[in-house]
Amino acid sequence: MELFNNTGKVALITGGGSGIGKTAAEALSESGATVALVGRTLQKVEDAAADIQQKTGGTVKGYQGDVTKTEDLQRFVRAVYDDLGSIDILVNNAGTLAPGTIDSLSEEEWDQVMDTNAKSIFFTTQAVVPYMKEQDYGRVINTASVAGDISLSFSSVYGTSKAAAIHQTKQLSLELAPYNITVNAISPWFFQTDMNESELADDSFRSAVENRTPMKRLGQLEELKTSYLFFASAGSSYVSGQNVFVDGALTVYGL
C-alpha cells in the first residue's frame, strides 16, 4: 500500500468544488496528500474543502480561479505553490457541457466548451510543469470522457473537446516523460454530477442512458476514486499516456 500513499505530496485539482473533482480530491486526501481545490466560485471550493477535511482529517484548501484565463491560472498555480511548497499532482478536471448540434450550437458555446475542457489542460499543465521538473517528479491526470471516443447525439462540441483532452494526454506524456512526469486520462460515462443533473432529471433520458449501458445503471462517484488514486501515486510510475474508461462496459458494446 506504500505505493499508493501520497503523504507529503501536494495535489492541485481544478473544478474541485463538486462532482468528479471533489471525489478525486477526497481520494487523494484519504491517501495522505495535501489538496488544493480550484474553482471559479471561492465559497464553493472552500465549502468543499471543509467537507473533505472533516471526512479525511487531511489538509484541504480552496482557491479561486478561472482556468479559461491564462493570466488567472498562472496566478492560482503560483499561489498554491507558495502556500503549500510544491505541486506534485495535477488533476485537470474543470469541465463544462453545451447541449446542441450543428444546427443550433453558437460560436460562443463552442469556444466556452473548448476553452474549459481542452485549452485549459494545456495551459494549466504548462504553468505547473516548471515546479514538477524542478523536483523531477509529477503526476498529471486529465478528466476526459467516453465522449472523446464515441459520439453523443446531443452535443457537437463536448466530445470534440474531450477527444482533444485524450490526445493532449498522449502528446504531453511524450514530452514530459524525460522529467519523471506521467500524464494519464480517465474517461467516465454517466455519473450524476451538477453538470448533468438537469439531463438526468428527465426520466426518459436517464432510462436511455441506463439501458444503453451494459451494467444497466449510472456510475457511483465512489467508483472513480481508485482510478484517480492509481494515476496519482508512485504505483503508476511506469504508466503514461494512457486513457482508462470507467464506463460500465459502454465503450466495448457492439451489438
Whole-angstrom Cα distance, residue 48 to residue 1?
27
pLDDT tens sequence for the chain (255 residues): 689 999 999 999 999 999 999 999 999 999 999 999 999 999 999 999 999 999 999 999 999 999 999 999 999 999 999 999 999 999 999 999 999 999 999 999 999 999 999 999 999 999 999 999 999 999 999 999 999 999 988 889 999 999 999 999 999 999 999 999 999 999 999 998 877 877 888 899 899 999 999 999 999 999 999 999 999 999 999 999 999 999 999 999 876
Contact 134, 176 (CB under 8 A): no
Domain that holds residue 20: 2-247
As for how many domains the chain has, the answer is: 1
DSSP-based three-state secondary structure for 138: strand
118 domain-assigned = yes
Instruction: Give the bridge partners for 14, in sequence order.
Output: 38
DSSP one-letter code for 85: S
Whole-angstrom Cα distance, residue 121 to residue 125?
6
**What's the confidence (pLDDT) of residue 1?**
67
**What's the confidence (pLDDT) of residue 154?**
86
Q: Which of 81, 131, 137, 158 is labelled catalytic? A: 158
Q: How far is CA 150 from CA 133, 253, 254, in A?
A: 34, 11, 12
Domain at 243, CATH number? 3.40.50.720
Q: Does residue 158 carry a catalytic annotation?
A: yes
Whole-angstrom Cα distance, residue 25 to residue 232?
11
- Reading the block at residue 77, the C-alpha cell is 498555480
Rg (CA), the chain: 17
pTM of structure: 0.96
209 domain-assigned = yes
229 domain-assigned = yes
**What's the confidence (pLDDT) of residue 85?**
97
Tell me which residue of 99, 217, 206 sits closest to 159, measured CA to CA: 99
140 domain-assigned = yes
